[in-house]
Amino acid sequence: MSRPLAAITGASSGIGEVFARRLAVDHDLLLIARRRDRLEKLGAELFQQHGSAVEILAADLTGDKDLALVETRLAAEPRLELLINNAGFGTKGLFWETPLEGQEQMHALHVIAPMRLCRAALGAMVPRDHGGIINVASVAAFIRRAGGASYGSTKSWMTVFTEALYLELRSVGSHVAVQALCPGFTYSEFHDAMKVSRESMASSSFWLTAEEVVDASLEGLRNRKLFVIPGWRYRMIVALVTKLPAMLRVAIESRIARERSAK
């Protein structure tokens, strides 16, 4: 019998790769990212280990043509059970000093691509009343930071968008699940690509493994949780920050930003 299909963007490394490894046990996979060689190697390994049929879609999701291909593929897939919008990247530097191109690509990857892929997937899942979507946001959705204007705001968009989808699905009594996964600092290639040292970001007790993040997410999906924040430290911080009056929150964040820039 054919297995359900999980489509994962950004499956060539980090959190997306671990999602693929975990889901390969009982799913066929559609793996999406730019680095075809990485996806092919992972696909061959997962086929050998678990017998999962793995389809590779080498796509740059910031480009309209590639995005449309993935969108069409998802909309036409009757076995689509899970979509994981995970592809993403970070930048460093003040908004007006960093190249516009990178900021535009970030909005395309973190906002336009998940929005279009969610629409394609839901069009197939809602009539079947079955399936789920995980949108990988960040704790940065809740905590603003100087040097992360586009990152924090695009990830905030993702949590608001996912919550709104949850409400819409509930409003029609749908059993399709949606989740905003909000990890904190996680070991992956993310900070290497940004060319920042992990030590400069946070002490080691704050770092999560991609396995911890993915396991919390999949457990949250089984329990139909809308927001999943892996790690008790991050759950505490987000609970506290989101309860502060805006003026107090901004005052604390400004102080941290000034202290960081003085270093």
Ligand X SMILES: NC(=O)c1ccc[n+]([C@@H]2O[C@H](COP(=O)([O-])OP(=O)(O)OC[C@H]3O[C@@H](n4cnc5c(N)ncnc54)[C@H](OP(=O)(O)O)[C@@H]3O)[C@@H](O)[C@H]2O)c1
Question: Which positions are annotated as active-site residues?
Answer: 151
Q: Are 87 and 109 in contact (CB under 8 A)?
A: yes
The partner residues of 7 in beta bridges, in order of sequence, read 30, 83
- Could you say which residues in the range 178-197 bind ligand X, by CB under 6 A? 183, 185-186, 188-190, 193
Helix, strand and coil in the chain, % to nearest 5: 55, 15, 30
Query: Least distance to ligand X from the beta carbon of 250, Å?
Result: 22
Contact region with ligand X (CB under 6 A), list: 68-76, 85-93, 162-170, 172-180: 85-93
Question: How many CB atoms sit inside 10 A of residue 115's CB?
Answer: 15
Pairing of β 80-85 and β 54-58: unpaired
Residue 37 interacting with ligand X (CB under 6 A): no
Tokens representing residue 45 in the block: 């390994």
Question: According to CB under 6 A, which one of 43, 88, 152, 220 is a site residue for ligand X?
Answer: 88
- 5: number of Cβ within 10 Å: 22
CB 25 within 8 A of CB 47: no
Applying CB under 6 A, among 109, 218, 229, 238 the residue interacting with ligand X is 109
- The least CB distance from residue 50 to ligand X, in Å, is 20
d(CA 205, CA 161): 31
Nearer CB in complex with ligand X: 67/176: 67
Q: How many CB atoms lie within 10 A of CB 262?
A: 6
Within residues 223-262, the interface with ligand X by CB under 6 A covers: none
Query: Rule CB under 6 A: is residue 153 a binding residue for ligand X?
Result: no
Nearer of residues 134 and 174 to ligand X, judged by Cβ: 134
Q: Which amino acid is at 71?
A: E
Residue 34 in contact with ligand X, rule: CB under 6 A? yes
Rule CB under 6 A: say whether 87 interacts with ligand X: yes
Strand partners, 178: 133
Minimum CB separation of residue 33 from ligand X in Å reads 4
Total interface residues for ligand X by CB under 6 A:
30
Q: Give residues in contact with ligand X (CB under 6 A).
A: 9-16, 33-35, 38, 59-62, 86-89, 109, 136, 138, 183, 185-186, 188-190, 193
